[in-house]
Amino acid sequence: MNTRKLGNSGIDISPIAIGTREVGEKSKQQTIETLQYAIDSGINFINTADFYGMGMNELIIGEAIKNRREKAFISVKTGALRNYQGHFLGFDGRPNAIKNFCAYSLTRLGVNEIDLYQIARIDPNVPIEESVGAIKDLIQEGKVRCLGLSEVNADQIRRANAVHPVTAVEIEYSLATRFIEKEILPEVRKIGASLIPYSVLSYGLLTGNLSGPLPKEDYKNMFPRFQGENLQYNLKLVEKLQDIASQKGITAGDLALAWALHQGDDIIPIVGMSSTKRVDKNINLVESIQLTSEENKLLNETFGIGVFKGERYPDALLKVVAS
């Protein structure tokens, strides 16, 4: 596979990253086989967090990369707190806490160094300079290679980068969620970092496979864009995406991912891959689907900033993420 440079690090990585948030929901053996197949096939960027599966994800990833460490690039988010049931408790960005979290991640992963260490969310009670300073210490100690941030605003990026160069910023970005293009993406590019978009299919909305109303037990009901009239309006927009995709002989989801990949070589989307077949499908998409300048312009104009209705998070969650 063709590779992309990770920010200002000079490190070559695959143009897409493997998302592992749902690793624990699949069989352990299937997960290990899928991860190893992906690494051997050229997708070497594995994105995880120490709070995914309450640490279980890191243990499984550690097994998968045991004989492939030199091939794998591991990104870990940290700082989010959960109880034994997995319920959110808040954030902890204190320097000693971050160093403690890192020690546990290194142990669970079975590695000596984490390639990209990211603050999952900024702790409102701790200056970002202190949290970043802790990761700077870890880099100097050889426990971390690169500094990353997640769900931050432009000012926070500037403040963090003043302490230590920021290599990557992970944040939600898709055809349906383009708010970062106003201030955040320009700042990421100004400092020479890479953008790591998650939810490039907007929690499945852009696949064209959803219909409303959603089942009551579906977690997406908590997001405003999946509620009531918002959902019906947004599904009509997705029909336009399907029409454009059908002209290329691909799915709406394929087109949405292709769009993200075509917004710049400094963008490395996170993609879920639950089986070896999904790995092959994503590799084929990356290598084969090209957008012309006219197609890219059409998508950008049809699905501009603010076109989709509904905030990406409910009010309660908006208070704990960058806006």
CATH number of the domain enclosing 132: 3.20.20.100
- pLDDT mean across residues, the chain: 93
Q: Which long-range contacts (CB under 8 A, 24 or more apart) does 52-58 make?
A: 52/20, 52/21, 52/23, 52/24, 53/23, 53/24, 54/82, 54/84, 54/86, 55/104, 55/108, 56/23, 56/24, 57/20, 57/21, 57/23, 57/24, 58/105, 58/108, 58/109
Is the pLDDT at 82 greater than 90, yes or no? no
Q: pLDDT at residue 318 above 50?
A: yes
* Residue 141 domain boundaries: 4-203+257-291
219 is catalytic: no
pLDDT higher than threshold 50 for residue 322: no
Nearest of 144, 93, 145 to residue 120 by alpha carbon: 93
pLDDT digits (tens, 9 = 90+) for 117-143: 999 999 999 999 999 999 999 999 999
Residue 85 lies in a domain: yes
Number of domains the chain is built from: 1
Q: Choosing from 52, 117, 198, 203, which is the catalytic residue?
A: 52
Query: Can you give the pTM of this predicted structure?
Result: 0.93
pLDDT in tens, 204-233: 999 999 988 899 999 999 999 999 999 999
Q: Per-residue pLDDT tens for 290-311?
A: 999 999 999 999 999 999 999 9
Give Cα separations from 117 to 37, 50, 96, 306 (angstroms): 24, 10, 15, 31
Closest CA to 317 of 244, 208, 225: 225
**Percent of the chain beyond pLDDT 90?**
84
